Amino acid sequence: MAWTQVYAPVGGALLSALLAAIPLIALFYMLAVRRAKGHHAAGTAVALSFALAVLVWGMPATTAFSSFLYGAAFGLFPIVWIVVTAVWVYNMTVESGEFEYIKQSLARLTDDRRLQAIFIAFAFGSFIEGTAGFGTPVAITAAMLVGLGFKPLYAAGICLIANTAPVAFGAIGVPVIVAGQVSGFSDLHISAIVGRQLPFLSVIVPFWLCVVMCGFKRSLEVLPAIIVSGVCFAGSQYVFSNFHGPTLPDIMSAIVAIVGLVVLLRVWKPARIWRFEGEAAAAIEGEAPRFGVVLRAWGPYIILAIMVFLWGLPQFKALLHSVPGSVINFSWPALDGMVQKAAPILPAGKDPNYPAVFVLNWLSAGGTAILIAGFLSVPLMPGYSFGRALSCLFRTVVQLRFPILTIAMILGLAYLMNYSGMSSTLGIAFTLTGSLFPIFSPLLGWLGVFLTGSDTSSNALFCGMQRSTAEVVGMPPELAVAANSSGGVTGKMISPQSISVATAATSMVGQEGNLFRFALPHSIAMTACICVLTWLQATVLSWMLP
């Protein structure tokens, strides 16, 4: 017999919402105050959520446990499948020594610190965010900038600020894919809306970085590079997010921005080279690698971009789905057909059943495209072999064992809160904000990423609630879901997870407080921009929505 959701188990909407928020408050406390490991914090939140779902919301224990497993399974596939394969490709380039040529090719373009920050922190960091995400770009780019001679605080802070605009489409579009899955909307539709918000941020991030480093006047000295990088990235982000989908905007935008900057530097150079105060010019040792060597080093990522592009085409995806056994659908046991929605969450005349069908599209999944790209890249790496590639894959899984566990538990927590009705309880409480909800919508995403360190996890936690609330207050629900992801990107730079990654990469362990204070005002300012834009798109600029 199906169980019907209850949204005010203790009477009033506010008191019920406060109870529903306990797992999220616990997650905040464990991460921000106790500085607990991600899987410890997630485990605590899951335990509290399970107890509340069963004891307060009245959800059958078997159904609650099954909903957690259903979310955890989605976390493992396709989310973890993408993360593992993406990081594996990066690890192979490091093991084979090819990544050194990638670093050299970027570092030799210019010795101006402003341009190096735009190249590495913004453009190259966006490329790594697009292929791997989950803390990888900050770790790589911050270490690269320190290696080039940047002061550790600036290297870490600049990379955190730069790692904003690309976050929503990171790891081959995982955050947007999760937002679509949790909310029930098409990820292509969510991608298009996010692609009409973040380009406004993307176009100013290069200028923002330069002002942080050297002030407004000195930033104007490299205005041509700022304009080229910002416009190339923002324009490409809009095109690919609206006309291809969520998987390629970061990768292609980064490539277009890098190519644009390289072409610009062939015909233009800054009048004065800027370095940090008291810093002497430092020559790069050794001869520049040949063009063929640089092209070979970038080969794995070029192949990856091509494969992901093909996998994102609807026609090619349909071809993959036509292969017998490539798509396996099955009802999730003890959950599918066992939960029913109710008013006011259930619109009049709609089917109350809350379906739970797991789709195992192993061939058309983004992670499979990356896996194939990785194996195709092995012959390009001198001295590397398929045996070493397989060993690297297993080591990558071991390396990511705790992030894998954290992702699975966070997704399990999200699904448990959704199927128990706790997310809807929070959403109903936010309906009290009425016409102001478009302003609060991005703030929820910002809070979620601050708590979890992941736009993916934030979308898993809040996108169901965003849709429920928006439908009640009259805001376009697709905009609310997209705003959760767009607002979330500005919380990435101050999340405890990102701060820890940045300090570790720059040998600043113990100075987390200094870095947090460095990034906080920039996070607040960028979040305010997204809040204003979302409110405008929900009202006077509604014509901007697809």
Say how many CA atoms lie within 13 Å of 324 toward its Cβ. 0
- The predicted-structure confidence for 394-421, as pLDDT tens digits, reads as follows 998 888 787 788 878 878 888 898 899 9
> Smallest Cα–Cα separation from 326: which of 358, 359, 372, 375?
359
Element (H, E) at 502: helix 496-505
Q: What is the pTM of this model?
A: 0.78
- Report the pLDDT value the prediction gives residue 4, as an integer from 0 to 100: 94
> Smallest Cα–Cα separation from 227: which of 212, 209, 252, 206?
206
- Report the pLDDT value the prediction gives residue 321, as an integer from 0 to 100: 92
- The predicted-structure confidence for 345-397, as pLDDT tens digits, reads as follows 776 667 889 889 999 999 988 889 889 999 999 999 999 999 999 999 999 88
- The predicted-structure confidence for 234-274, as pLDDT tens digits, reads as follows 999 999 999 988 888 988 999 999 999 989 988 888 888 88
- Mean of the pLDDT values across residues 140-156? 81
- Report the pLDDT value the prediction gives residue 278, as an integer from 0 to 100: 66
- Report the pLDDT value the prediction gives residue 110, as an integer from 0 to 100: 78
Report residue 325: phi and psi, to 5°.
Answer: 80, 5
- Report the pLDDT value the prediction gives residue 407, as an integer from 0 to 100: 78
Q: DSSP string of 93-159?
A: HHHTTHHHHHHHHHHTT---HHHHIIIIIIIIHHHHHHHT-TTHHHHHHHHHHHHHT--HHHHHHHH
Ordered by start, the domain boundaries in the chain are 3-273+287-544
Whole-angstrom distance, CA of residue 239 vs CA of residue 252: 10
pLDDT band at 8 (very low <50, low <70, confident <90, very high): very high
> Residues 356, 336: contact at Cβ < 8 Å?
yes
- Report the pLDDT value the prediction gives residue 348, as an integer from 0 to 100: 64
The segment with the largest mean pLDDT, out of 4-18, 72-86, 433-447, 457-471, is 4-18
pLDDT band at 460 (very low <50, low <70, confident <90, very high): confident
- Report the pLDDT value the prediction gives residue 531, as an integer from 0 to 100: 94
The segment with the largest mean pLDDT, out of 176-190, 346-360, 443-457, 520-534, is 520-534
- Report the pLDDT value the prediction gives residue 207, as an integer from 0 to 100: 95
Q: Residues 354, 247, 254, 531: what is their CA dihedral angle, to the nearest 10 degrees?
A: -20
pLDDT band at 135 (very low <50, low <70, confident <90, very high): low
- Report the pLDDT value the prediction gives residue 134, as an integer from 0 to 100: 63
Report residue 411: phi and psi, to 5°.
Answer: -65, -40
pLDDT band at 510 (very low <50, low <70, confident <90, very high): low
Whole-angstrom distance, CA of residue 396 vs CA of residue 83: 10
pLDDT above 90 for 32: no
CB atoms within 10 A of CB 473: 20
The segment with the largest mean pLDDT, out of 104-118, 160-174, 232-246, 307-321, is 232-246
Query: How many percent of the chain have pLDDT more than 70?
Result: 94
pLDDT above 70 for 204: yes
> Residues 500, 38: contact at Cβ < 8 Å?
no
Contacts with 4 (C-beta within 8 Å, 6 or more apart), sequence order: 339, 340, 341, 342, 352
| Structure token pair of residue 546 | 């697809």
Cis peptide before 355 (omega within 30 of 0): no
pLDDT above 70 for 495: yes
